[in-house]
Amino acid sequence: MARPRPRRARRVRRTWLRVLGLVVVSAVLVTLDYRGELHGAVNAARRSTADALNPVERAVDDVLHPVGHFFAGALEYGSLARQNAELRLELRRAEGQVLRLGTERRELDQLARLEHLPFVDVATIPTVTAEVIGQSSSNFEATVTLDKGQDDGVAVGMPVVDGLGLVGRVVQVASHQATVELITDSRSVVSVTYGTAGALAAASGQGPGAALRVDYVPNRAPIHRGELLSTSSVRSTAAGTQATVSARPVADLGSLGFVDVLAWEPPG
């Protein structure tokens, strides 16, 4: 006659069966999403979650930030006053540069028209100014959250800049919120151009805080130390011998406050 299974053994078996079931359900969800079969539903759910959490996050942020600012301000009063004076000087320099750039831009426009060049002038692209309200919730990506979304004219793929240079591109949008993948994210690859001949290369992110890696630098057009790289919508065509160099983003990605989303989508 078979001995009845002890109660505890049955309970343990039931527990691990349930765990196994949850693991299988999770694995199925991951597989379906990875194959793109859940994209519509998941994106809609993520948009709704972002919209639902947005007011709560803002309310908490409104409560916590003034407290943080009060202590930060009290502790750093001296350095803030110096920073303020430096910023005033910086502003005067920038105003002078704007005056000089006006003339140069007019000359560039004339040249572009004469040569029929497809030139995108960032200054003429409409922008949406947004505040950075959050950083990535994952430790395995470099993203920030903006307080502007679909209802404000922000769309997936749009580039995001600060006063100095490229910050990243929009990868996800909700009604009043957008997620920006920073150029330091390891999945980010940006075409860059440099030098008077407009040589092309590709800058890829290496993780937060790390320098960008610039690949496909043609040996015939070496990059000099300190040279400025500009982003390009033209893809680098890897040909001939190439080198790899490091580059530092001009934009200060560690302390982003307000940014501009360019209402322009790069050609596919």
Partner 1 sequence: MSQVEAPLEGSQPLPLEALVRLSLVVVVSLVLQLSLLDGVRVAGAHPDLLVLLPVAVGLLAGPDRGASVGFVVGLVTDLVLPTPFGLSALVGTLLGAAAGSLRPGRARPSLWMAVPLVAAGAAAGTVLRGVLLALFGVPKALTAYLPPALVVVTVGGLVLGPLVLRAVRWALPVEEPARPGPGLGGSAAPGRVRT
What residue ranges bind partner 1 (CB under 8 A)? 11, 14-16, 18-19, 22-23, 25-30, 32-34, 38, 42, 45-46, 49-50, 53, 56-57, 60-61, 64, 134-143, 171-172, 179, 186-187, 206-210, 254
- The answer to whether 186 and 140 have CB atoms below 8 angstroms apart is no
Q: C-beta of 208: minimal distance to partner 1 in Å?
A: 3
Q: C-beta of 46: minimal distance to partner 1 in Å?
A: 6
- The answer to whether 226 and 261 have CB atoms below 8 angstroms apart is no
Q: C-beta of 179: minimal distance to partner 1 in Å?
A: 7
Q: C-beta of 193: minimal distance to partner 1 in Å?
A: 23
Q: CA 257, CA 162: separation in Å to the nearest integer?
A: 9
Residue whose CB is less far from partner 1, 152 or 181: 181
Residue whose CB is less far from partner 1, 105 or 213: 213
Residue whose CB is less far from partner 1, 211 or 221: 211
Contacts of 204 (CB under 8 A, 6+ apart): 186, 188, 189, 190, 212, 213, 214, 215
Residue whose CB is less far from partner 1, 146 or 194: 146
Residue whose CB is less far from partner 1, 13 or 220: 13
3-state SS class at 74: helix
Q: C-beta of 29: minimal distance to partner 1 in Å?
A: 3
Contacts of 202 (CB under 8 A, 6+ apart): 189, 190, 191, 192, 214, 215, 216, 236
Query: Exposed, middle or buried by CB within 10 Å (0-12, 13-18, 19+), for 213?
Result: middle
